[in-house]
Structure 1
């Protein structure tokens, strides 16, 4: 660059005469005066924003504090801006510490942003106008942001949260298309869902597009009290994405395509093993042969196609694609911010011939500053979701789920392998899989169309004093259409080349269901926030009301032919017109937050709630809460000790206590009602519709209450690279419903006493998390984990009664104060019988028949009371809860980034719950196949044709067709119960972001490709091929599939 300042050019030396010195000084004074005047004018500056590794920071916000001009950095981290020469720039970007830089007349500025490892400035949204910095939070609140959610490629938003939130438990008990994990906070029950300030149900959360979520905060303790009557189980607060001020237009397109791979399903036995099990049963029992040696050998040798085992598992369960695409646009000016998004997901079913699930989401958030003091916003979101399956009796999935066992491996699905002619392949013809498709069974479609409109307004009355209003309208329309055909089964006659009908199902059904849900929500608040020296105050009072109606109509017809889709008055067999079922709730809220010097923090809140369910006088309840926090590390004595200041950078102690209301019981139970169209009588030759009384009315029912205590500590070490938190909680649940038993009413009345608020339970537990974030060279990495323990205990019971001390011991769960609510009782096993001789000499009568039904390999039970008989008196507590969420849940997370390559892995696990081995995994059902696992691990004859050949004692008893669940070897015992522990790979993703110097040439600011997987493997303490999350003890649930996706994300 040419230098015009000769005084700074080193190649020249000047000597000023003394006579000219005064002139020079005067000139400089004039020049400085000019500069001072010019400082009031704008200058054009340019600059670059980089991270501490010298990499460009794309999209960083650069705002001039005096001129209020702003911009964002481009793909190379550069920016240009017109500012005052004496202005100050504020540079910020998510995940980095905000910096202020004086312009000082410079034309070019380079700013280095340091990664924010402290995380204390992270904003936690708790609702009702409060978004707190994490440092000032006094409640037990877990949160996760959009960046982490983006790496979990789940069909549902709930699935994207799994393993990321301490104290929040998830369990996905089936993998049906569109299915989502069940969510509980600290095993307390279903939480309240808040989406952009509006109460919704879990279905609305599940069907959000995870790409539209900005943040998720979970209120686990009494901090949830401000949300009122439905918040006793905790609150999940969802905030969707919005545009930012002075944000340049940003366009993002992302998507993936992948495959769902069948897994985690116990495989059925092959034809030869199925026949071997039949032969063994006949040999043991001495019954006539149904399978000859010659026929059996043909199956063993697979002599032809007709003697080759048919693998029903591989035939029914197939790999299926799933795809997702989302496009969103965001940006903003000084006055208007916007975010628009459109996404679609398609998840085909893994059952052959089933279409599956698809959903289209739309999200639109627009915010406008009408004036500096008046702001408005409009949010519109909607979705259309559809489930599509063949029309099968009952639950459309049950028959095919059981199909691998109901259909025998010696049979095939179609006569002569012709798909037009279903064959009988199961002992019960209707279980045959060949007809379970659209052509032969009919069709079922379930479709939701949902739209929600939120309008918001905010007016700043005085500095810090604001009035806010929210109005929401939500409309959901559901339409179900089910057509079930009559069907035929065929046999093929090779000689005549004719397909003969061998059985017919004559029932035909056409069902129509239309349901509409309509909800109106309004929320009005007055808030005040200000800082006085070291005192900071934030307060809000408000009113919230919600009204909903939920009408439904249902019709069932029996059409004369499969091709007639209509229901007319001649075919109508059932019609139900559900009333609107109106529901109304309202509440008055108040909250006060105060902190002194960001060290001593207090929050007080309360809500006065009313519900339509209860009678006047018991309709309203007041539910207060309070919390305190003490940031020890902000004290001067801490900052004065270098070792403490440098090594323990965050120490906060907090506690909370509150009373939350629970809306219990059925609506209007204080009024005597009648069930219309219940029964009837024939009068004068005609049927007169009858009605029945719903039961006795009761005045003694109102809110249940949950008193929740939480004590927690937050820790940060080494500049908060290492963070940890621990919370202990105690929940006392009172006013639970029960009926009195000591007031007698005549049996002729036909109903029992109504329920009242009589009982109580309580829970104790803790949750903890630890997280380490650091950098080694060019590698950024994060390792974290969390664990939750929660267990329920029996509280007060209305006059508990027991006929004996044994009964008191046996039925303690749920009845004795201080005992666990969910302990499993069963017999206690003592190994297995090894021989006929051991059975003959066994001194205890185990089968109540002198042990004549026992066989080598059978389970042997302990006679706990020594009476020589195995019965209920020998049952003992042997396990934890079954079916529900385990007592202990944990998760581990790993993240790595290196020169554009990133890796993420989420592991989830649980322990302290009971798995009970049932059904096909326990015994050989006479009308079905048995599991290959059971056959391979069961006791067997050395020679299946010879009863005297001896036994090879296996892990399980003999698998005999004549032994069912009532056989004594299959009685409930710890022989069949396992205290389950597992660790599961929930999500894994590896991606690569192309260098900006490549993508910027084609107008792309960021381009990333990745491959991800879900449910890739599980480590568990049982060797059965089932998913440890499912609750179906026989393994017969729609399995959670392994998923592999290939995807992309592009920013323009």
Structure 2
């Protein structure tokens, strides 16, 4: 590790090299002026701006220069024309030459006046550095920080104002001394260049596949601790689902539906062209077993470092990443210092407060007990009405039989998250450097929980010579978490336990003793049970499974620390202006230490406590070389071609220690234990790859893209480890053709049709080819020595591995339409796609006689098809006010075409969930993510069949009850700007789909939720008896809800929900106010996230909050409430 860091430091020292002025090398014959300007822009990094009536970009130019200064090149390009150029910072402004032949005597004889005014854009924002000049001569000035100017000219002169990216404007003075300008944006700027797979730069208009970009400033103001969550609702076809563990939890990311029935469905994450570990720390262990959700790897990335995020949705967009990109790619481009002249300093501070967005309604009428009577040791709230009378708790202490301080917020606290970031950047014509530091401090809503993380980034670029350039970055992340939330059925799950806590139990009673333990010699007066040293609780019946929330928060604790280094270094050599080669090396290294401590005192497992310590390290290295050819072959034909290769190596190590019971109470070390066990794990994997691309363009109207990649994976056998991934795409800019045919409607600015086909895959994990043994220890009592002896043994896996295993294959078609109209104020991006995923890697049952339980096989076919629509618009745009709106819609259907021979269903969930009557199933002929369980027994008319006790009945078989995937998803974002104010908000939702609400099942079974309040004395369930008679048998709410817990259908809810995802109201201080201060910009904003659940049917619970980020979605059980955050954001630029 030291050598790696040293190597990066040496590379960064190279940025001190001094470089000369910009040079250009190119040989273009009979090329359009547009191509010449594009070549200059690519080599120099400068941006051209011009007006369509002035500059004819279709003019044919021939030019050959070698290592020539930029001004000389521009002089050659525009020699003999009426075009002049002006170089300002990193921009080249083209305009019509001014008449220099005017008689100076005429000007001198004209009366001079001083004209003042301001230059603004259409939104009313001042244009800083706009050129204001007298038409016809070289008399001019530039606007200041408030867009203001002052210029002395003849009274009858005409003023001309120009600014990069805007149409120029002329105004005759006619003696006026105050003239203001409002400039309109120029739609004829050079085409937008985007970064695609492998970091290849392309004109966005040429792409034959769907790609959506989110700018970095959309992630920082209403920020989330996990940058992945900030993408929710912003990208069509992208589904983000958080685990129910709060700010430290992981997120499940799925693009265009899952492609693998039983494998990985998360997209590849690429940072600055280098793939990184994008795994989640979630668990699918429903009963906990001391496991916690350790968060997502993507959450390490600071949003302050991000320039933009590009989402490559389809296989055609991601095919160059081969077997790792079957689920799409999220490409993160981080900031450099290139746009900052001199030294720039930016500081951002974000302080938010967190409280539950919503909570379910609880009943406060009936207290602890059973059958309508108070029972001091009961686990439910089925007792008598709470009347405030005096009773005794479990230990005989007096208390009142009332609701008292039993609200969840009496236990929770207001959480806070304070994020501070500092950014320093600088650049010259050839060098740039950026340093970024971020610190986040979170005090969780659960007492005794916290989360802190810090990142530091250093990035530098340099043109070492006229042909050799350098780019490198290194980022160090560190985070420490105290007491992550326990999940689902874990006995320390505070939110599940609160659902079960009787409504007459007070938090003040549970918090009565300093150590949350009953004192010595404490006995239960009801049954004389000895409670000495045991956790304070409201019952001793299940106190090992239902724990006091204070005990879970302060006694059974956990902590973890993660350190991570992420970086890359690259060198690029330009052979000519059309041929270059790049070599790049990237690393992603992190280490994690996790500790779990169970206190002494529990009545069941490990009554003397337990301690677990795990250490894991992971390392991934990627080395790649890319040769790029980019040349205009003729007047109308251009070719962009690349060829290269990649070497990927990944290694993961783990050491796991577990001890208990503890010899010295609550002294948690590996040595302080009567018994201990330890194990280690090591996995390695390598993928070698070769790839090539070719993009052929004709007349800047038709584009044809072809890519090819071959991977060789160490996880597969010699016969199957090589697999080939091709793709073909085409796009037609039909508005260019219509324009040449003189039939293009004037209101349409841009139109493109695209079509693509691709084949990619999903690789498998290592060590699935051959059988293996797991070493372990067994403790055996030896009567001869009267000692417990440790025996080392080897345990055979219960999975029969398959040496003929192959990778999963995904074949996709995509068609799309892009339109922009009304001066780019209305935009449409439409896509239709279909994907077939074959050779699914499935775990199939095998006969017990083989000595195994399962076998991995390639079988099955999964099909996804869907539609995506992205609409953008600017309905209003005036001098002082503008309104921008973005809408996205996506619909995806996943169907299981077939599974393996002899397999009708494949279960996706933790098998132990069957005890709750719930299964998540992939069934042949069904849809992916079907929910199976026990349904109500009904007659032919659909009426419930009621048994002799007056209660509903359920079938014994598991049947389909729903599906966890939404029918469609959508989001709407609005941004309003009024002078120095801006206001934005985002509403998004998922519509359709189902969810199993385990929390409602628990809360109704315990009699704590509001819906259990009625029918306590008697009730009659609507339905018919077995004989067909209308049911008239009376029962009670306690028996009714207990009966419903034996089935599944009552707990399947519509998962439709609509929420106010984020909101921001900001004020930017006027530049005039800051003119005498060191600040260039100050903006203060009120911000919030998850502010309002506008619509949901799940009774105060979040239907999108699950216990796991695995493929077994659609299950909610004891989740932490989704938190609303609200606060302030301050951004200061020096």
TM (norm. structure 1) is 0.78
Q: Structure 1, residues 60-101: CA drift from partner, whole Å, max 9, x if none?
A: 999xxxxxxxx9986345899xxxxxxxx99986xx459899
1:425 is the counterpart of 2:537: yes
1:700 Cα deviation (Å)?
A: 2.1
Cα distance in structure 2, aligned partners of 1:1044 and 1:382: 29
2:986 aligned to 906, 916, 923, which one? 906
Deviates more, 1:312-321 or 1:714-723: 312-321
Tell me if structure 1 keeps the 8 A contact 2:359–2:1121.
yes
In 2 relative to 1, CA 1021–511 (structure 1 residues): closer, same or farther, beyond 3 Å? closer
Alignment partner for residue 971 of structure 2, among 869, 875, 891?
891
Is the contact between residue 730 and residue 765 of structure 1 (CA under 8 Å) also seen in structure 2? yes
Name the residue aligned to 2:702: 600
Task: Give the whole-Å Cα distance in 2 for the aligned partners of 1:800 and 1:252.
Answer: 63
Deviation digits for residues 163-194 of structure 1 (CA, Å, limit 9, x no counterpart): 11112111224252323432111122211111
1:531 alignment counterpart: 632
- Map 1:813-852 → 2, pairs under 5 A: 814-817=922-925, 819-824=926-931, 846=945, 851-852=947-948
CA distance in 2 between counterparts of 1:142 and 1:529 reads 25
Matched, 1:216 2:276: no
The answer for unaligned runs of 5 or more in structure 2 is 1-102, 133-140, 151-159, 171-178, 259-264, 279-295, 376-380, 392-397, 519-535, 906-917, 1021-1029, 1108-1114
Q: What is the CA–CA distance in structure 2 between the aligned matches of 1:931 and 1:715, rounded to whole Å?
A: 55
The 1:693/1:335 distance shift into structure 2, 3 A limit, reads: same
Q: In structure 1, what is the equivalent of residue 819 of structure 2?
A: 715
Change (3 A) 1:774 1:845: closer
Q: 1:506 to 1:826 in 2, by over 3 A?
A: closer
Deviation at 1:396, TM superposition (A): 8.1
Q: Distance in 2 between matches of 1:416 and 1:276?
A: 18
1:298 paired residue number? 389
Partner of 1:27: none
Deviation at 1:1000? 2.0
Determine the structure 1 residue equivalent to 2:4. Answer: none
Alignment partner of 1:326 is 2:408: no
**In the alignment, is residue 655 of structure 1 matched against residue 722 of structure 2?**
no
Question: Secondary structure of 2:389's partner?
Answer: helix
Show structure 1 runs of 5+ residues with no match. 13-45, 63-70, 81-88, 102-108, 283-288, 490-502, 804-809, 833-841, 862-869, 944-952
Q: Look up the match of 1:469.
A: 583
Q: Does structure 1 conserve the Cα–Cα contact (< 8 Å) formed by 2:569 and 2:585?
A: yes
The match for 1:930 is 1007
State the match for 1:75 in structure 2.
145
Q: Give the Cα separation in 2 of the matches to 1:416 and 1:350.
A: 18
SS at match of 2:735: helix
**Which of the residues 742, 759, 775 maps onto 1:676?**
775
1:409: Cα distance to partner?
Answer: 3.0
1:574 matches 2:677? yes
Distance 1:1039 1:292, change over 3 A: closer
- Structure 1 residue 876: deviation in Å? 7.0
SS at the partner of 1:1029?
A: coil
Distance 1:397 1:504 in 2: 11
SS of aligned partner of 1:266: coil
8 A Cα contact 2:374 2:383, kept in partner: no
Evaluate the alpha carbon distance shift between residue 1008 and residue 54 of structure 1 in structure 2; reply closer, same or farther with a 3 A threshold.
Answer: closer
Residue 941 of structure 1 is matched in structure 2 by 1018
Contact 2:626/2:642, CA 8 A, preserved across alignment = yes
Q: Alpha carbon RMSD of aligned pairs, Å? A: 4.2
Residue in 2 that maps onto 1:495: none
Secondary structure (helix, strand or coil) at the match of 1:308 reads: coil
* In 1, Cα distance between equivalents of 2:340 and 2:1002: 65
CA drift of 1:844 comes to: 9.0
- Offset at residue 530 of structure 1 (A): 2.0
State the secondary structure of the residue aligned to 1:1001. coil
Counterpart mapping for 1:493-512 below 5 A: 506-512=607-613
Per-residue deviation, 1:787: 1.1
> 2:811 touches 2:837 (CA, 8 Å); kept in 1?
yes
Cα distance in 1 for partners of 2:795, 2:1117 equals 41
1:530-679 mapped onto 2 (5 Å cutoff): 530-532=631-633, 533-558=635-660, 559-562=662-665, 564-568=667-671, 571=674, 573-579=676-682, 581-637=683-739, 640-641=742-743, 644-664=744-764, 666-677=765-776
Contact 1:415 1:421 in 2 (8 A): no
Structure 1 pair 382–49 and aligned structure 2 pair: CA distance change class (3 A) = farther
CA contact (8 A) 2:777 2:791 kept: no
Give the deviation of 1:433 after TM superposition: 2.6
Equivalent position to 2:1130, from 1042, 1048, 1052: 1048
1:133 & 1:346 partners in 2: Cα distance? 41
Contact 2:117 2:149 (8 Å CA) reproduced: yes
Say which of 570, 575, 582 aligns to 1:456. 570
Query: Which of the numbers 855, 867, 871 marks the counterpart of 2:955?
Result: 871
2:281 corresponds in structure 1 to: none
After the TM superposition, which of the residue ranges 563-572 and 602-611 deviates more from structure 2?
563-572
Query: SS at the partner of 1:480?
Result: strand
Other-structure match for 1:1030: 1105
Structure 1 residue 846: Cα displacement: 3.4
Go from structure 1 to structure 2 and tell me whether the alpha carbon gap of 1:236 and 1:120 turns closer, same or farther (over 3 Å shift).
Answer: farther
Q: Deviations over 1:498-533 (max 9, x none)?
A: xxxxx9984222322221112221111111112242
Are the structure 2 counterparts of residues 992 and 118 from structure 1 closer, same or farther at C-alpha, using a change threshold of 3 Å? Answer: farther
Name the structure 1 match of 2:299: 206
Q: Could you list the per-position Cα deviations for residues 771-816 of structure 1 after superposition, in whole angstroms to 9, with x for gaps in the alignment? A: 112434321111121111111112233335789xxxxxx9997444
Structure-to-structure mapping, 1:368-379, within 5 angstroms: 368-379=462-473
Equivalences for residues 513-528 of structure 1 within 5 A: 513-528=614-629
**Whole-Å separation in 1 of the counterparts to 2:382 and 2:126:** 78
Which of 529, 551, 573 is matched with 1:436 structurally? 551
- 2:1036 and 2:427 map into 1 onto residues whose CA distance is 70
Contact 1:413/1:433, CA 8 A, preserved across alignment: no
8 A Cα contact 1:613 1:667, kept in partner: yes
Matches within 5 A, 1:51-200: 51-52=121-122, 55-58=125-128, 75-76=145-146, 96=165, 114-115=184-185, 121-188=191-258, 189-200=265-276
- d(CA) in 2 for partners of 1:357, 1:687: 40
2:646 is paired with a residue whose SS is strand
How far apart, in 2, do the equivalents of 1:363 and 1:181 lie?
24
Does 2:415 match 1:315?
Answer: no
Q: What is the distance in 1 between the residues matched to 2:959 and 2:931? A: 8
Q: CA deviation at 1:688?
A: 4.2
Contact persistence 1:993–1:1008 (CA under 8 A):
yes
Aligned counterparts of 1:935 and 1:395: Cα–Cα separation in 2: 22
CA-to-aligned-CA distance 1:287-342 (integer Å, 9 cap, x gap): xx99678x746389xxx962332314122222111111111012210121122111
- 3-state DSSP class of the match of 1:274? coil
Mapped partners of 1:90, 1:340: distance in 2: 37
SS across alignment from 2:410: helix
Q: C-alpha deviations, 1:531-572, integer Å up to 9, x for none?
A: 242323211111111112211112223442246343328655
Asked whether the 8 Å contact 1:923–1:960 carries over to 2, the reply is: no
Distance 1:989 1:420 in 2: 43
Whether 1:234 and 2:328 are equivalent positions in the alignment is yes
Aligned counterpart, 2:841:
737
Bigger radius of gyration: 1
Question: How far apart are the structure 2 equivalents of 1:739 and 1:505?
Answer: 34
Residue pair 2:1103, 2:1116 contacting (<8 A) in 1 also: no
2:582 partner SS: strand
Instruction: Using the TM superposition, name which of 197-206 and 759-768 deviates more.
Output: 197-206
User: So what's the TM-score if we normalise by structure 2?
Assistant: 0.73
